[in-house]
Amino acid sequence: MKLCQVALLAGLLGAAPAWAQTIDRLQNLAQQEFRLLSEDLGGALSYHPQTPTAPLGITGFDVGFALTGARLHNTSVLERASSDSVPGTLPIPTLRAHKGLPAGFDVGVMYASVPSSNIRYYGGELRYAIIEGDAVAPAIGVRGSLTKLSGVDQLALDTRGLDLSISKGFGFVTPYAGIGRVWVNSDPRGIAFLQGEKFALNKGFVGVGTKFLVMNVNLEADKTGDVTAYSIKASIRF
């Protein structure tokens, strides 16, 4: 992971008010452009794990704030669909919470609102640790996830994901990685000449979690389709 790029994410939030992404002109797009827009949004707004694979345990929880910079592949298309200027990297602040459940299960929820934009979305995950991991063995888990766009009157978009991941703790540092698939359903609203798009994107991610007492900092790089995203998350974890 390019740590310098992750560190620059903090600057994105401060600069975000100058970069607006109000999607309100889908009527400007041809069908192929709508497909490209859907691929970018599907990759950027898909569920990003931002946590190692190892289960939290029945008494465990993790609550925090994350900032993601999603590098779009078709910025010019998003600009045609928007009434405002569009950055090459979409800043996405999110609130996140995870809770450990019995039998190696974990559940997570998130909510995001892109600054100076009508882009808002929410999502969740259910994760199962096939191998919970210990001092010798890594944790291996499977995750099902979903996200749903809200706030954009002209567009209904949701994603559903499935991934397999692995993590291994080394003291206070826990690196992790995973691969998966994301299914995107994108439907225009009120645009008679545009048809909905359904397709799947490949996903891969790597990250590292660091824990100091109850404080946790997580860094992650994710590539879904042609969209590359870098994230940093700060949380309280028990």
Q: What is the pTM of this model?
A: 0.89
Q: How confident is the model at residue 3 (pLDDT cuts 50, 70, 90)?
A: very low
Place of tokens 């199962």: 128
Note the pLDDT tens digit of each residue in 73-95: 999 999 999 987 777 899 999 99
Cβ neighbours of residue 8 closer than 8 Å, sequence gap 6 or more:
69
What's the first-to-final CA gap in the chain, in angstroms? Answer: 26
Cα 44–204–40 angle (5° rounding)?
Answer: 20
What local confidence, expressed as pLDDT, does residue 221 receive?
98
22, pLDDT greater than 90: no
What local confidence, expressed as pLDDT, does residue 20 receive?
58
What local confidence, expressed as pLDDT, does residue 88 receive?
84
210, exposed or middle or buried, with CB in 10 Å at 0-12, 13-18, 19+? middle
Q: Do residues 100 and 56 lie in contact, with contact meaning Cβ atoms separated by under 8 Å?
A: yes
For the range 28-34, what are the long-range contacts, defined as Cβ-Cβ under 8 Å and sequence gap of 24 or more?
28/80, 28/81, 29/77, 29/80, 29/81, 29/194, 31/193, 31/194, 31/195, 33/77, 33/80, 33/81, 34/186, 34/188, 34/194, 34/197
Tell me the CATH number at 124.
Answer: 2.40.160.20
Q: Count the domains in the chain.
A: 1
Name the percent of the chain lying above pLDDT 70.
Answer: 92
Mean pLDDT of 206-235: 97
Cα 114 off chain centre by:
12
Note the pLDDT tens digit of each residue in 38-64: 999 999 999 999 999 999 999 999 999
Domain residues for 43?
3-237
